[in-house]
Structure 1
Amino acid sequence: MQNETKNASDDLEPLVDAAGTTHEAVAAGEARIVSLVPSLTELLCDLGLAPQLVGRTGFCIHPREVVRSIPKVGGTKDVRLDRLRELAPTHVVLNIDENTRDTAQALVDVVPHVIVTHPCAPEDNAALYSLFGGIFGREQEAARLSSGLADALTEAASLRVRVEEERVLYLIWREPWMTVSHQTYIASMLERVGWICLPDVHEPRYPSFEWDAEWLTDVQRVFLSSEPYRFRERHLGEVSSLSGRPASLINGEMVSWYGSRAIAGLRYLTALRAELAGLPATVPALPRV
């Protein structure tokens, strides 16, 4: 009878990226991948796809020993399209926030498959794992990461009910002083352990501010991130004096990197939240900076 034969792939969810583009699954060994996003480079390696990575940006530094031998194609916002073209990739992965629209548009004429990502919250990483796992034939590895993410989210939620919400200022730059808005992935990560970012704005995403701003009176704690500006111990006294609040260094990679790093990042924040609240840590603490 007609139409009774059904392929196994018919039951699979379509592989749709953040730009709404549907992608076909390919055998991992047949893909030549360039990653223009540090977090995604790390994720691709954790999915077992390092042998298929033929290009990266200079900011793609993890895992260090693996990426060292992968050619660079410039930065996240100044991609060398000529160099990228020489590498003959079948796929390029990028991110709406970290790469420019001009780069994305130029890549359409250079590369057969452009995969666009845009995780806005830690939960979004599960879909990211599935997308890459489905496209590049790494479904089992993606499922393993999704399980780890679910566990880390559960651990964070378990801690959050044991602590009171705390309003925080998360510093990312100095001269001018800059922080993050509620629309950012960073703010979403912090919120999972009960740290609420101020100011309470959605735009701009990374606002600058002066220390006499009225909303600063509601801040209870200040974090100095290790990236993009590398705050160090010597800045703590300055910030404590300016803010009149407790100030701590925080590992920016653990808070802002998505992909597979989100799992370690959530556990890092859970341990740090417990430590600063004077509670026993439910997961091992990780390096702050």
Structure 2
Amino acid sequence: MHLADRSSSDSSVAVLRDALGALHRPAGADARIVSLVPSLTELLFELGLGAQVVGRTGFCIHPRQALRAVPKVGGTKDVKMDRMRELAPTHVIVNIDENRRDTIDELAAFVPNIVVTHPCGPRDNLELFDLFGGLFGCEHAAQALEADLRSALDEAAAVKAALPAERVLYLIWREPWMTVARDTYVSAMLAEVGWTTLPEVQGGASGAGRYPVFDWSADWLGEVERVFLSSEPYHFQLHHADEVTALSGRPATLIDGEMVSWYGSRVVAGLRYLAGLRRQLVDFAR
């Protein structure tokens, strides 16, 4: 995602590459940033860039207090272009999975810099921090986050090494019942602490394929040892856990979806949350 390079017109100025290989020069203190990615809005504030964030989506909710002063520009997929033009951003942060390609193309017609991101697993955040640090002049804050992430990865690896692997079903929706494919960020996060998601499918580029619908008669469900019910996008609650336990015959546990699916700065707390949850469930079973 990130690559230091040299501009052909000015060999003294470093440029950086985003997830699509587009080159970006360091922005400086005059950058006006709109984020269309909730977890990366949180990252921008964590890096000390809150004063330069001039717009965000209605789904950008962290940090709650600070975001009250930041104008909304619609949702992640229904961006209000007239509002975007009014805000005159120099940089818009987007994500391959969360934002529509036609939205990105339309923005590119009047926004000087569209920064495309695509972290597919927790380790990809190291490059993401590096990219944002170099782009927005907050290298020290980015390096501190990188150190925290490496520590959290080590903690997760220690838990994974100490406990037997467990096959899990991670629910994100009800009626229809939906889960996650192996090539999702969620599955990669769970794998860091030794939870392997079922079904054993790769979703590819298709959004529907990455979040498959299933029914409770599927053969592979016999291999599931534990079911997780996420707090987002469907807000599962305790009575749903009872329902799922009855349907699956397996223990069902509520899980914080933000901790599992939000990349950016949240990955550090997310990995530690999962490591703690893994230990807690083992202790509870003893």
- With over 3 angstroms needed to count, the CA separation of the structure-2 counterparts of 1:32 and 1:235, relative to structure 1, is same
Cα deviation for residue 8 of structure 1 reads 10
- With over 3 angstroms needed to count, the CA separation of the structure-2 counterparts of 1:9 and 1:166, relative to structure 1, is farther
Other-structure match for 1:240: 245
Q: Distance in 2 between matches of 1:144 and 1:8?
A: 29
- With over 3 angstroms needed to count, the CA separation of the structure-2 counterparts of 1:140 and 1:8, relative to structure 1, is farther
2:30 maps to 1:25: no
2:223 maps to 1:222: no
Q: Distance in 2 between matches of 1:209 and 1:110?
A: 42
Cα deviation for residue 69 of structure 1 reads 1.0
- With over 3 angstroms needed to count, the CA separation of the structure-2 counterparts of 1:267 and 1:9, relative to structure 1, is farther
2:210 maps to 1:205: yes
Other-structure match for 2:194: 194
Runs of 4+ in 1 over 6 A off after TM superposition: none
Query: SS state of the match for residue 19, structure 1?
Result: coil
Other-structure match for 1:252: 257
Equivalent residue for 2:268, pick from 237, 254, 263: 263
How many residue pairs get aligned? The number is 270
Cα deviation for residue 277 of structure 1 reads 1.3
Cα deviation for residue 64 of structure 1 reads 0.3
1:28-53 superposed Cα distances (whole Å, 9 cap, x missing partner): x2000000000000000000000000
Q: Distance in 2 between matches of 1:185 and 1:21?
A: 23
| Mapping for residues 30-179 of structure 1, pairs under 5 Å | 30-179=30-179
Q: Distance in 2 between matches of 1:224 and 1:158?
A: 25
Cα deviation for residue 9 of structure 1 reads 5.6
1:215-259 superposed Cα distances (whole Å, 9 cap, x missing partner): 000000000000000001111110000000000000000000000
The root-mean-square deviation of aligned C-alpha atoms, in Å, is 1.3
Equivalent residue for 1:231, pick from 236, 253, 256: 236
Give the percent of matched residue pairs that are identical in Structure 1 and Structure 2: 61
Q: TM-score, length-normalised on structure 2?
A: 0.92
Query: SS state of the match for residue 253, structure 1?
Result: helix
Letter in 2 for 1:19: L
Cα deviation for residue 178 of structure 1 reads 0.1
- With over 3 angstroms needed to count, the CA separation of the structure-2 counterparts of 1:8 and 1:153, relative to structure 1, is farther
Q: Distance in 2 between matches of 1:140 and 1:182?
A: 34
Other-structure match for 2:206: none
Query: SS state of the match for residue 283, structure 2?
Result: coil
Cα deviation for residue 82 of structure 1 reads 1.0
Q: Distance in 1 between matches of 2:100 and 2:12?
A: 34
Cα deviation for residue 188 of structure 1 reads 0.0
Q: Distance in 2 between matches of 1:118 and 1:9?
A: 28
1:158-211 superposed Cα distances (whole Å, 9 cap, x missing partner): 111100100000000000000000010000000000000000000210000000
Letter in 2 for 1:155: E
Q: TM-score, length-normalised on structure 1?
A: 0.92
Letter in 1 for 2:278: R
Q: Distance in 2 between matches of 1:221 and 1:9?
A: 55
Q: Distance in 2 between matches of 1:44 and 1:144?
A: 14
Cα deviation for residue 131 of structure 1 reads 0.4
Q: Distance in 2 between matches of 1:79 and 1:35?
A: 11
Query: SS state of the match for residue 169, structure 1?
Result: strand
Q: Distance in 2 between matches of 1:108 and 1:121?
A: 27
Give structure 2 stretches of 5+ with no counterpart.
1-9, 204-208
Q: Distance in 2 between matches of 1:180 and 1:81?
A: 32
Q: Distance in 2 between matches of 1:209 and 1:142?
A: 40
Q: Distance in 1 between matches of 2:26 and 2:72?
A: 26
Letter in 2 for 1:42: E
2:282 maps to 1:277: yes
